């Protein structure tokens, strides 16, 4: 009789089939939630890394442009880009020193925005990176001279500045109409430079970073 009671207690101490199924279902829910949290964290991490990299590229490219125009002479600009159109390229000369009381100027230098070779401006994503109509900034030294050379300063530049559309309007309210992703304009005696870069994160979301600065050019 004591043996039967002990077996009955052992049976009651174990899990029934229904209890086991409920426990398995709950464990599955918990593991799924953990998995979704981990995936979401990875996605946010990749998004943050892409955004930080894009912001760094934008800042470095703008600094590179500023370094070239910092010693340019305002009087050497053949055409000063002014509002409301501005310009996506600029030509200038740099003072290389003074000889006999006269300034000595370099050959002509040009900085301009052009289409990337693998992604012409045709409204399509030709290079398959998720960004349409990318541009690159090209520096040309000794323009038209015997030592003319092109240097690509950076790519991933938007065809139009962030917030602008090709509609002959000042969409972003900065006083310029349809300005390009690289924009030059002379305002209040200073050369203002604006730059917008674009990229896609791992989830295919569009990221845009815009930077601007003003440079006081020499006379």
The lowest-confidence range among 68-72, 97-101, 108-112 is 97-101
pLDDT score at 103:
85
Residue 4 domain-assigned (yes or no): no
Express each pLDDT in 155-166 by its tens digit: 999 999 999 999
Find the domain containing 172 and state its range.
Answer: 44-215
Averaged pLDDT, 76-86 = 92
User: Residue 144: inside a domain, yes or no?
Assistant: yes
Report percent pLDDT > 70 for the chain: 86
Residue 86 has pLDDT above 90, yes or no: yes
Residue 43, φ and ψ in degrees, nearest 5: -65, -45
Angle CA 62–67–70, to nearest 5? 115
- Residue 198's SS3 state is strand
- pLDDT interval class at 203 (50, 70, 90): confident
User: What is the rounded CA–CA span in Å between residue 133 and residue 5?
Assistant: 82
For residues 60-70, average pLDDT: 95
Cβ-contact 29, 35 below 8 angstroms: no
- What is the per-residue pLDDT across 28-37, written as a single tens digit (0 to 9) for each? 787 777 666 6
Whether 35 is covered by a domain: the verdict is: no
Partners of 185 in the β-ladder: 192
State pTM to two decimals: 0.79
Q: By the 8 A CB rule, do 93 and 103 touch? A: no
Name beta bridge partners: 197.
Answer: 157, 209
Give the tens place of pLDDT for each residue, 120-154: 999 999 999 989 999 999 999 999 999 999 999 99
Of 1-5, 95-99, 152-156, the poorest mean pLDDT is in 1-5
The domain tally of the chain equals 1
Q: Residue 15: what pLDDT? A: 62
Query: What pLDDT is attached to residue 38?
Result: 60
DSSP 208: E
Residue 23 located in a structural domain: no
Question: What percent of the chain clears pLDDT 90, i.e. is strictly above it?
Answer: 59
**In this structure, is residue 18 part of a structural domain?**
no
169 CB-contact burial (10 Å; exposed 0-12 / middle 13-18 / buried 19+): exposed
Q: Which of 26-30, 35-39, 71-75, 108-112 has the lowest mean pLDDT?
A: 35-39
- CA 98/CA 37 separation, integer angstroms: 65
User: Is 21 a member of any domain?
Assistant: no
The better pLDDT of the pair 37, 186 is held by 186
Does 111 fall in a domain? yes
Residue 217 contacts residue 211 (beta carbons within 8 Å):
no
Is residue 12 included in any domain, yes or no? no
């Amino acid at each position: 009789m004591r043996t039967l009671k002990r077996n009955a207690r052992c049976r009651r101490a174990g899990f029934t089939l229904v209890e086991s199924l409920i426990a398995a279902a709950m464990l599955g829910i918990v593991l799924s939630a953990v998995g979704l949290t981990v995936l979401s964290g990875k996605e946010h991490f990749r998004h943050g890394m892409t955004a930080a990299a894009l912001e760094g590229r934008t800042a470095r490219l703008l600094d590179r442009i500023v370094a070239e125009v910092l010693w340019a002479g305002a009087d050497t600009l053949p055409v000063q880009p002014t509002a409301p159109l501005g310009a996506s390229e600029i030509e200038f000369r740099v003072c290389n020193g003074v000889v006999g009381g006269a300034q000595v100027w370099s050959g002509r230098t040009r900085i301009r925005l052009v289409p990337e070779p693998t992604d012409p401006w045709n409204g399509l994503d030709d290079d398959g990176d998720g960004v349409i109509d990318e541009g690159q900034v090209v520096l040309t030294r000794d323009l038209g001279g015997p030592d003319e050379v092109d240097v690509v300063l950076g790519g991933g530049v938007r065809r139009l500045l962030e917030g602008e559309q090709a509609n002959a309007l000042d969409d972003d309210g900065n006083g310029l109409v349809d300005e390009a992703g690289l924009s030059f304009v002379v305002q209040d005696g200073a050369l203002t430079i604006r730059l917008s870069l674009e990229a896609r994160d791992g989830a295919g979301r569009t990221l845009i970073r815009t930077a601007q600065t003003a440079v006081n050019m020499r006379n």
